[in-house]
Amino acid sequence: MAPVLIRIEDESAFSAPAPVGAPTSEQIAMTRIAGITETPAGNAGIWESTPGRFRRQVAQAEYSYFIEGEGSFTPDDGQTVEFRAGDSIYFPANAQGEWEIRNTVRKAYLILG
């Protein structure tokens, strides 16, 4: 199989901003995506979120690399994980918890499964 390139040429590649599905703060975070690509493992792309708090809505395992921004993720059954640009996080399948985005985040992600 050949390598799969995901390239975002400019901001026009992103979807229109949409509110998160399960907000937990007054400030409703807005998200948008670009470059959604099917891979043999699942799908991949670029995700962006403005500040706010919300529940994670992805049931599958996920690998994320944070390109910009900062925040935290608090799993329902664990300790808060702080992240910033340059960090990566692996979420096991069915990982539930709350995102807190403090500065707009942009991440590259791979959904597994």
Residue pLDDT, tens place only, 46-66: 999 999 999 999 999 999 999
pLDDT band at 41 (very low <50, low <70, confident <90, very high): confident
* CB contact set of 38 (below 8 Å; sequence gap of 6+): none
In the predicted model, what is the mean pLDDT of residues 91-97? 96
Helices (H), 1-113: none
pLDDT at position 1 over 80: no
AA identity, residue 38: E
